[in-house]
Chains A and B, each alone.
Chain A
């Protein structure tokens, strides 16, 4: 009797554990899709001034408002596009969730500016063999390329180059250094 109770409670716990696991697994992937609040000082500035101005029609006001919002969005996108380095786990080439927003901003820019061209430089940490790491660097850069293309960039706008484990950012021989070196760097030509 006690045994079955124990068993079922263990089972329940296991279920809870599973639920916890699955929720933590999916959440980081979804989180970045939530649009972050615009930075203070960027967005709100213009609109507060406009509220006091008189003699503007409703439509003019709305237009001003829309323009201000657009500017705020542009500023936000520009800020996101300043993120040009994307980090990976050991022997992994999954586009990290926290780079989704910046990459979408780059993709939107490339889509709006078809003449723009970028190079994606892929790198690996020093562990393992040079040739496998060269391939891994390329796979990482290609994962970023795919993400950009899915989000609107043109394939002809993107070039992929891998340097493998060469040119590390950090010459240390520990996880702290390695985590900085497993990266893809996006460069506008």
Chain B
């Protein structure tokens, strides 16, 4: 199943089971990394005496594979299928070139499922992790994501994001009777849920820092307005519907304010709205287009897109207002900036020739670097561990999502089974 060619390139199309919500996304891994750590994730023994709705080890393996940092061994190549440390013959795994080994089992008593797992270092034969997690049958996927998080963090030092979610917009039947659907799914594209649907456009979903709410722009009624919706309860509130554009919502890191673009005073300007008092503060004041505000992680600054210099470029301004400073100078089109987790880098859309790519720029040296090879890239959203970026692109004229590892260079695609998918937003760690 895996082809090895220079850079390790594999195509593992993991088709998801049918019968779930039809807008689930499909994962296609297009490129891993040379330095990926080999790990064997052995199928977990089923000790429940009945069939299981989820293959826990398979979920974990797919999660780890997608990061590009780990390289799970194909099951067909395994010489034995141990389910606890006693049964492990380390030499076999060593011969197979594996550095780590994950084994486990699922048992059940009175409706409660217990997933026991152990992670071994093949070379030293040491147990790195060993634990048991309990939950209901419907939580088996969550348990698999938790184990993935723990394994990934213990091997790379980076917290996993397997338990986080993505929001995105699908567009179905675009030519005849367009239906825009705002959805939330697990980070692997599964278990999608409809948040809002409309025959009119939905754009720019943005997660609240708590991961419990989404701000988005809906054109219902034929005009753009900003709404904030509680993801679990579905309760929503219209927060901005002035004359003209109400768009590009972005939450302050403390969740108390929403930066946005309003053109109520004649042309698009950046505003900050206090979500408790609804008081508005105007941040920019220029006849040009100012839009796509994004808060710095410390909440002190905003970056945004402006064409005040004649073409769309990225500017930075204090969150309290003041004179904006231009940050990008290379190329004719730099837009929709987002900060890296540590606030030292910007990710944004950069035009090169006829193509639009994602680029990264360090705020100290200000040298942009192109990150993506796809051609119509937009809407970068950074994973809460900072190691991956999800963005929207096109393939064969269809809108799909793509994820790249910022440092690993790994890539995978998340196309919708049906229609276009766009406007991704990676959730923060969710406080439930």
The yes or no answer to B244 lying at the interface (CB within 8 A) is: yes
Inter-subunit contact A139/B289 (CB<8 Å): yes
The yes or no answer to A128 lying at the interface (CB within 8 A) is: yes
Inter-subunit contact B336/A161 (CB<8 Å): no
Minimum CB–CB distance from A134 to chain B (whole Å) comes to 6
Give chain B interface residues in 373-387, CB to chain A under 8 Å.
Answer: 376, 378-379
Q: A167 — which chain B residues lie within 8 A by C-beta?
A: 178, 201
Inter-subunit contact B349/A131 (CB<8 Å): no
With contact pairs A135-B291, A138-B244 given, residues A130 and B263 touching in the complex (Cβ less than 8 Å):
no
Closest to A121 in B: B222
Greatest chain A CB density within 10 A among B178, B312, B351, B423 is at B312
Give chain A interface residues in 145-182, CB to chain B under 8 Å.
Answer: 160-164, 166-167, 171-173
The yes or no answer to A105 lying at the interface (CB within 8 A) is: no
The yes or no answer to B83 lying at the interface (CB within 8 A) is: no
Inter-subunit contact A129/B397 (CB<8 Å): no
Q: A166 — which chain B residues lie within 8 A by C-beta?
A: 201, 203, 219
Closest to B292 in A: A131
Inter-subunit contact A131/B244 (CB<8 Å): no
Inter-subunit contact B305/A131 (CB<8 Å): yes
The yes or no answer to B175 lying at the interface (CB within 8 A) is: yes
Minimum CB–CB distance from A168 to chain B (whole Å) comes to 9
Closest to B293 in A: A131
Minimum CB–CB distance from A173 to chain B (whole Å) comes to 6
Give chain B interface residues in 289-309, CB to chain A under 8 Å.
Answer: 289, 291-292, 305, 307
Q: A126 — which chain B residues lie within 8 A by C-beta?
A: 376
The yes or no answer to A127 lying at the interface (CB within 8 A) is: yes
The yes or no answer to A11 lying at the interface (CB within 8 A) is: no
The digit string for B102-136, where 1 denotes a CB below 8 A from any CB of A, is 00000000000000000000000000000000000
Inter-subunit contact B201/A160 (CB<8 Å): no
The yes or no answer to B174 lying at the interface (CB within 8 A) is: yes
The digit string for B315-353, where 1 denotes a CB below 8 A from any CB of A, is 000000000000000000101100000000000010100
A79 to B311, CA, bound (A): 37
Inter-subunit contact A129/B379 (CB<8 Å): yes
The yes or no answer to B247 lying at the interface (CB within 8 A) is: yes
Inter-subunit contact B203/A131 (CB<8 Å): yes
With contact pairs A138-B244, A161-B223, A171-B397 given, residues A128 and B378 touching in the complex (Cβ less than 8 Å):
yes
> Contact check: which of B204, B245, B311, B378 meets A162 at CB < 8 Å?
B245
Inter-subunit contact A128/B261 (CB<8 Å): no
Inter-subunit contact A128/B289 (CB<8 Å): no
Inter-subunit contact B244/A160 (CB<8 Å): yes
The digit string for B233-272, where 1 denotes a CB below 8 A from any CB of A, is 0000000000011011000000000000101000110000
Inter-subunit contact A129/B378 (CB<8 Å): yes
The yes or no answer to A136 lying at the interface (CB within 8 A) is: yes
Minimum CB–CB distance from A50 to chain B (whole Å) comes to 49
The yes or no answer to B356 lying at the interface (CB within 8 A) is: yes
With contact pairs A128-B349, A161-B223, A171-B397 given, residues A135 and B378 touching in the complex (Cβ less than 8 Å):
no
The yes or no answer to B85 lying at the interface (CB within 8 A) is: no
How many chain A residues sit at the interface, stated as a range, is 20 to 34
Q: B351 — which chain A residues lie within 8 A by C-beta?
A: 128
Minimum CB–CB distance from A121 to chain B (whole Å) comes to 9
The yes or no answer to B394 lying at the interface (CB within 8 A) is: yes
Q: B312 — which chain A residues lie within 8 A by C-beta?
A: 91, 128, 132
Minimum CB–CB distance from A39 to chain B (whole Å) comes to 35
Q: B163 — which chain A residues lie within 8 A by C-beta?
A: none
The yes or no answer to B405 lying at the interface (CB within 8 A) is: no
Inter-subunit contact B175/A132 (CB<8 Å): no
Minimum CB–CB distance from B237 to chain A (whole Å) comes to 21
Q: B204 — which chain A residues lie within 8 A by C-beta?
A: 130-131
Minimum CB–CB distance from B304 to chain A (whole Å) comes to 10
Minimum CB–CB distance from A97 to chain B (whole Å) comes to 22
Q: A131 — which chain B residues lie within 8 A by C-beta?
A: 203-204, 247-248, 261, 291-292, 305, 336
Inter-subunit contact A171/B247 (CB<8 Å): no
Minimum CB–CB distance from B368 to chain A (whole Å) comes to 16
> Contact check: which of B175, B311, B397, B423 meets A130 at CB < 8 Å?
B423
Minimum CB–CB distance from B95 to chain A (whole Å) comes to 50
Inter-subunit contact B292/A129 (CB<8 Å): yes
Greatest chain B CB density within 10 A among A127, A132, A136 is at A132
Inter-subunit contact A134/B376 (CB<8 Å): no
Inter-subunit contact B175/A163 (CB<8 Å): no
A136 to B268, CA, bound (A): 10
Inter-subunit contact A132/B376 (CB<8 Å): no
The yes or no answer to B72 lying at the interface (CB within 8 A) is: no
A127 to B223, CA, bound (A): 22
Q: B175 — which chain A residues lie within 8 A by C-beta?
A: 171
Q: B245 — which chain A residues lie within 8 A by C-beta?
A: 134-135, 138, 162
Inter-subunit contact A127/B397 (CB<8 Å): no
A32 to B307, CA, bound (A): 30
Inter-subunit contact A129/B336 (CB<8 Å): yes
A-B complex: 3 closest residue pairs judged by Cβ atoms: A135-B289, A166-B201, A129-B336
> Apart from A129-B335, A136-B289, what are 17 other A-B pairs with CB-CB below 8 Å?
A91-B311, A126-B376, A128-B356, A129-B378, A130-B379, A131-B292, A132-B292, A132-B305, A132-B307, A132-B336, A138-B263, A138-B268, A161-B222, A162-B245, A164-B201, A167-B178, A173-B397
13 pairs from A and B in contact (CB 8 Å cutoff): A128-B349, A129-B305, A130-B423, A134-B224, A135-B267, A135-B289, A138-B263, A139-B289, A164-B203, A166-B201, A167-B201, A171-B174, A171-B397
